[in-house]
Amino acid sequence: MTHGETHEHIRDQEAELAAAAEAGQDGAYRAYATFLGKSGRMDQALSWWAKAAEHGDADAARTLAICHKDRWEFAEAERWYRSAADRDGGCAFGLATLLKESGDPDGAQEWYARGAALGHVQSLTNGTVLKAARHGAFAEAQAQLDEAAELGDRKAASARQVIENIVDDLELWEERLARAEADGDAEAAFEALSPLRDPEYAGMFTYYPSTIRAAEALYARAAAVGSHQALVEQAILVARDSDRIEEARALAVRAHELGYSGAAYVLGVWAFERGDQRTAEHWFETAAAAPDGHDYARFYLGLIGIMQRRLDEAERWLRLTGDTEDENDQYGGLPKMFVEQLEEIAAIRADPARLPDPELAARLPGLRAAAESGGAEECFAYADALDRLYRLPDAADWYRKTGTPRGLLELGRMLQDCQADETLLVPYFEPAAEAGDAGAAYSIAGIHTHAKNERAAGIWTLKAAELGHARAAWGVGWTSEERGGDPQFAERWYVRAAEGGLARPAFLAGRSMVRWGRYAEAERWLVKAWENDIPEAAYHLGRALRRLGRTAEAEQWLRRAVERSGDFDPPRGPLERRVDPRPELAELLVEAERDEEAAPLVADILAEYPGHLAGHRLVGRLARRRGDLATAEQHFAQIEERDSDPGTRMSLREIRELLAQVTHEH
């Protein structure tokens, strides 16, 4: 069978599957959808998966939901999960997980329970863990996880162990605290809970938030014994819930009023994270002025001073911490982080471009007068000037006064530069993004990416891409390709990114088109990639042109690829091999019967990769052409051992028939 006949066979198979699907034969929708998916045509496959699902195929419904989820089309994913979730445990599990990721734990709990009732053991495990995470009830959870483990879910046993460890730890802390309470020892009460401050337990609070309430109660008891530090630790736990920040502040203020200087520092950090530098500065100064002089409060005061270009003040705060008398140490034994900020101050002083512009400062009174009597644009102009003059708290006030998406967006970006907690800044970016600002949407995606919120990051990256952000389009395509199974979706977004001027997505789009046989479309993007110094583009362009019958051009590009192959991207994983353009060039030369040019190239390939199938095939063809049938048989036989290619088997059979004829003649 020739290469062409192989493709003809595939076309016949497709036609047969399509006819069966069109006729509605039993199982044909799924079979045709599977074929199309494996052929890289997910867009077409989705419609046939939908037909299968509409005819009661729960596996098809689940496949559709996963495909749409991978495209960040969550409403469609939920619709298909729901279509079969009441009768299929896998769909119930998928729906519950989707709802959990979307912030609907009650819905997730319901569908995990329904999945478990349908016999889906992973639903039992996940539902149990979710319930324990939200509500505690650890004894009940341990029993249910034992059941899930007996049913064969390996994750259930590890989850049970985690919960058992949590229960043991809570009981131990309770016992230690009870002894300190009995003695009325505030210091011992606080120390009894010291493991709770270990970073090791941050994950416990994240994944089992019900433990936060238990830890809060323990700290409240320690505070009742007289530990003001415990009151602050309780406040820090409360502050993990953004809806309870005022409650957390009240606890910290109470600790401050009771005389604990660390409370002022914590209050300063919270204000700093929210971009409120005025309030942050007040609390940091309070902490720094305490008898024990809080070093980190001084560091933050130095940082705020640098941000606002109050450099003398910043330097004074930063230098208050040194404790060495070494005359050769210009920084007085300061910690590295303090030294780095002092070096930053020196760099700013040496660069006029990083200092407030005197001309802009002179215009400030006029800009203020215009803002006070004008509208949003005048407020924005004044806020922008304050921002560029590093008068950041005042700039924040006036950005808010604009009341416009643009003003809030610039406020968000300014606070980002001021190292505020990004997750708290999303509301400043959202109005501009909702109004169509692609950059704002992409900024939100970045914030969620840094926060490891994959779902939110995906939604906003897709939105930014739809609004025309080239890098977002690249990200959508790349993420889809990394997940696998949806090359059409990925390629569409690579093209959008390439149309936005990015070279790397142009290469990825062109490579995808070559992979799926759309050679003419690929040429434009691969040329663009080559012109932007992506050398591997030459290889894929050579392949495309060769299949378009433009052999002379293909040879030129493949020779360029061979010359630049050392600059190709390294393999992305241990199972992937670096792209080698030599076999493609050698095959072109063999087909052109330029055997003398092809032979050394093929020899190099086999010398480097003795098991290279294409190399053996080409050596076999060359040997056959020059009449060396024994050598040809040897190489085709090696291929047959490793490869089931029908074309190879046919060649081997033909060679053996020729050898038999030669033997018979002699």
CATH (domain of 50):
1.25.40.10
User: Structure tokens of 205?
Assistant: 């609070």
d(CA 170, CA 219): 12
Q: Do residue 46 and residue 192 come from a single domain? A: no
What does the pLDDT average to over 491-517? 96
Q: Is 333 helix (H, G, I), strand (E, B) or coil?
A: coil
Point out the least confidently predicted range of 179-188, 435-444, 634-643. Answer: 634-643
pLDDT confidence of residue 572? 75
- Local confidence band at 647 (pLDDT 50, 70, 90 cut-offs): low
Separation CA 230–CA 177 (nearest Å)? 12
Convert the pLDDT of each residue in 97-150 to its tens digit. Answer: 999 999 999 999 999 999 999 999 999 999 999 999 999 989 999 999 999 999
Are residues 191 and 131 both part of a single domain? no
Contact indicator for 119, 88 with CB cutoff of 8 Å: no
Give domain status of residue 404, yes or no: no
Query: Are both 29 and 55 inside the same structural domain?
Result: yes
Per DSSP, the residues of 467-527 read TT-HHHHHHHHHHHHHH-S-HHHHHHHHHHHHHTT-HHHHHHHHHHHHHTT-HHHHHHHHH
Which tens digit of pLDDT belongs to each residue from 587-600? 999 999 999 999 99
- Cα R_g (the chain), whole angstroms: 34
Q: Are residues 14 and 133 in the same domain?
A: yes
Which range among 342-356, 409-423, 485-499, 639-653 shows the weakest confidence by mean pLDDT? Answer: 639-653
Q: Is residue 140 part of a domain?
A: yes
What pLDDT does residue 571 have? 82
Contact 438, 468 (CB under 8 A): yes
| Same domain, residue pair 237 and 152 | no
Q: Are residues 49 and 20 in the same domain?
A: yes
pLDDT band at 1 (very low <50, low <70, confident <90, very high): very low
Return the pLDDT at 445. Answer: 97
Which pLDDT tens digit goes with each residue over 27-50?
999 999 999 988 889 999 999 999
How many angstroms separate the CA atoms of 78 and 69, rounded?
8
Please indicate, yes or no, whether residues 293 and 186 belong to a single structural domain of this protein. yes
User: What ranges in 293-452 are assigned the alpha helix state H?
Assistant: 295-307, 311-319, 336-349, 358-373, 376-388, 392-402, 405-417, 426-434, 438-450
Do residues 72 and 140 share a domain? yes
Give residue 149's region: left, alpha or beta (phi > 0; psi -120 to 50).
alpha
- Does residue 218 sit within a domain? yes
Cα 145 from Cα 549, distance rounded (Å): 63
Check if the beta carbon of residue 503 is closer than 8 Å to that of residue 532.
yes
> Burial level of 296, CB count in 10 A (0-12/13-18/19+)?
middle
Are both 71 and 23 inside the same structural domain?
yes
For the chain, how far is it from start to end, CA to CA, in angstroms?
A: 30
In a domain, 529, yes or no: no
Mean pLDDT of 242-271: 95
Residue 456 pLDDT greater than 90, yes or no: yes
Residue 358 domain flag: no
Q: Is the pLDDT of residue 582 over 50?
A: yes
Picking from 162, 185, 204, the residue at the C-terminal end of a domain is: 162
124, 143, 162 — which closes off a domain?
162
Which among 629, 635, 636 has a CA at the least distance from the CA of 659? 629
Taking residues 180-190, report their average pLDDT. Answer: 95
Residue-level pLDDT at 313 = 97
Neighbours of 188 (CB within 10 A): 17
Q: Which residues contact 29 (CB under 8 A, 6 or more apart)?
A: 21, 48, 49, 51, 52, 55, 57, 60
**CA distances in angstroms from 120 to 64, 88, 134, 149, listed in the order given:** 19, 8, 21, 12
Q: Which has the minimum average pLDDT: 7-11, 30-34, 228-232?
A: 7-11
Question: What is the spatial distance between Cα 95 and Cα 84, in angstroms, rounded to a whole number?
Answer: 10
Alpha carbon distance 118, 280 (integer Å): 54
Q: Looking at residue 88, what is its pLDDT?
A: 97
Q: Please, which residues have CB within 8 angstroms of residue 651's CB and are 6 or more apart in sequence?
A: 620, 621, 624, 636
Amino acid letter at 191?
E
pLDDT at residue 388, as a whole number: 97
End of a domain among 162, 186, 221?
162
Residue 568 DSSP class: S
Residue 233 and residue 85 share a domain: no
DSSP 276: -
| Number of structural domains in the chain | 2
The pLDDT value recorded for residue 94 is 97
- Answer whether residue 366 is part of any domain: no
Report the chain's mean pLDDT, rounded to a whole number. 91
Digit-coded pLDDT (tens) for 300-325: 999 999 999 999 999 999 998 765 44
pLDDT at 333 (0 to 100) = 66
CA dihedral 495, 501, 504, 509 (to 10 degrees): 20
Q: Give the confidence band of 611 by pLDDT, cuts at 50, 70, 90.
A: confident
Regarding whether 259 and 114 lie in a shared domain, the answer is: no
User: How do residues 621-632 score in pLDDT, each as one tens digit?
Assistant: 999 889 888 888
Q: Is residue 276 part of a domain?
A: yes
Give mean pLDDT, residues 533-538: 96
CA distances 56 to 61, 80, 88, 111, 480, Å, are 8, 11, 11, 20, 28
Say if 626 falls within a structural domain.
no
Q: Are 282 and 316 in contact (CB under 8 A)?
A: no
**Cβ(478)–Cβ(490) under 8 Å?**
yes
Does 292 lie in the same domain as 212? yes
Report the alpha-carbon angle 464-467-473, nearest 5.
Answer: 55
pLDDT given for residue 649 in this prediction: 66
The boundaries of the domain holding residue 202 are 173-323+332-352
Question: Which residue do the tokens 């409120």 mark?
Answer: 276
